[in-house]
A and B are shown apart, each in its own frame.
Chain A
Amino acid sequence: MLRLGLGTAAAVALLVLPFWVPSAWQNLLITTFYYAYLGQAWNILGGYAGQLSLGHAAFFAIGAYTSAILATQYAISPWLGMFAGAALAAILSLGIGYLGFRFGLRGFYFILLTLAVAEICRLIALHLPLLGGYTGLFINYTPNPWQFQFQGKIPYYFIALGFLAAGSGIVWLIQRSKLGAYLVAIREDEDASEALGVDTFRYKMIAYALSASLTALGGTFYAYYQYYLQPNTVLHINHSVDIMIRPIVGGAGTILGPVLGSFLLELLGEFSRTYFAGGMAGLSVVIYGVLLIIVVLFLPRGVYPTLAHLMRRRRPGRAA
Chain B
Amino acid sequence: MILLRVTGVSKAFGGLRAVRRVSFDLAEGEMLGLIGPNGAGKTTLFHLVSGFLRPDEGIVTYAGESLVGLRPHDVCQRGMVRTFQIARPFLRLTVLENVVVGALERVAHRREAVAIAEEMLELTGLADRAGSMGHSLTLPDRKRLELARALATRPRVLLLDEVMAGLNPTETGRLIDLIRAIHGRGITILLIEHVMKAVMALSQRILVLNYGEVIAQGSPEEVVRDPKVIEAYLGEDSAGAEAGAKE
Most chain B CB within 10 A, of A176, A181, A192, is at A192
Stretch from A14-22, A85-93, A195-203, A235-243 contacting the other chain: A195-203
Distance in angstroms between the alpha carbons of A177 and B84 in the assembled complex: 26
In chain A, what residue has the closest Cβ to B50? Answer: A195
Q: B88, A189: Cβ atoms under 8 Å?
A: yes
Interchain nearest-CB distance for A175 vs B (Å)? 10
Known: A195-B82, A196-B76, A198-B73. A181 touches B88 (CB 8 A): no
Interface residues of A in 142-189 (CB under 8 A from B): 176-178, 181-182, 184-185, 188-189
A4 within 8 A of B: no
Distance in angstroms between the alpha carbons of A320 and B149 in the assembled complex: 22
Known: A184-B93, A189-B90. A199 touches B73 (CB 8 A): yes
Chain A residues with CB under 8 Å of B97's CB are 181, 184
Chain B residues with CB under 8 Å of A181's CB are 97, 100-101, 104, 110, 113
Distance in angstroms between the alpha carbons of A192 and B152 in the assembled complex: 14
Chain A residues with CB under 8 Å of B105's CB are 196-198
CB<8 Å pairs between A and B, sample of 26: A178-B104, A178-B110, A178-B113, A181-B97, A181-B104, A181-B110, A182-B101, A182-B104, A185-B90, A188-B90, A189-B90, A191-B52, A191-B84, A191-B88, A192-B90, A194-B72, A194-B76, A195-B52, A195-B72, A195-B76, A195-B81, A196-B102, A196-B149, A197-B77, A197-B81, A197-B105
Q: A320, B150: Cβ atoms under 8 Å?
A: no
A193 within 8 A of B: yes
Partner of B92, one of A188, A194, A198: A188
Chain B residues with CB under 8 Å of A197's CB are 73, 76-77, 81, 102, 104-105, 153
Interface size counted on chain A using CB atoms at 8 A: 21
Total residue contacts A-B, CB cutoff 8 A: 79
B131 within 8 A of A: yes
Distance in angstroms between the alpha carbons of A200 and B74 in the assembled complex: 11
Main secondary structure of the interface of A (DSSP, over half): helix
Q: A196, B93: Cβ atoms under 8 Å?
A: no
6 closest residue pairs by CB, A with B: A197-B105, A188-B90, A197-B76, A194-B72, A192-B88, A185-B101
Known: A193-B101, A197-B77. A188 touches B109 (CB 8 A): no
Interchain nearest-CB distance for A61 vs B (Å)? 33
In chain B, what residue has the closest Cβ to A199? Answer: B73
Partner of B73, one of A178, A184, A189, A200: A200
Interface residues of B in 66-83 (CB under 8 A from A): 71-73, 76-77, 81-83
Q: B88, A194: Cβ atoms under 8 Å?
A: no
Interchain nearest-CB distance for A199 vs B (Å)? 5
Interchain nearest-CB distance for B197 vs A (Å)? 27
In chain A, what residue has the closest Cβ to B155? Answer: A197
Interface residues of B in 141-158 (CB under 8 A from A): 149-150, 152-153
Distance in angstroms between the alpha carbons of A311 and B134 in the assembled complex: 21
Chain B residues with CB under 8 Å of A198's CB are 73, 101, 105
Q: A196, B110: Cβ atoms under 8 Å?
A: no
Interchain nearest-CB distance for B205 vs A (Å)? 25
Interchain nearest-CB distance for B228 vs A (Å)? 33
Chain B residues with CB under 8 Å of A188's CB are 90-93, 134
Interchain nearest-CB distance for A155 vs B (Å)? 38
B16 within 8 A of A: no
Interface residues of A in 191-243 (CB under 8 A from B): 191-201
B108 within 8 A of A: yes
Most chain A CB within 10 A, of B73, B83, B89, B97, is at B73
Q: A320, B73: Cβ atoms under 8 Å?
A: no
Distance in angstroms between the alpha carbons of A320 and B131 in the assembled complex: 8
Most chain A CB within 10 A, of B89, B97, B102, is at B102
Chain B residues with CB under 8 Å of A184's CB are 90, 93, 97
Interface residues of B in 13-53 (CB under 8 A from A): 50, 52
In chain A, what residue has the closest Cβ to B88? Answer: A192
Known: A178-B104, A181-B101. A196 touches B81 (CB 8 A): yes
Distance in angstroms between the alpha carbons of A200 and B109 in the assembled complex: 19
B84-121 interface mask toward A, CB cutoff 8 Å, 1 = contact, 0 = none? 10001111110001001110110011100100000000
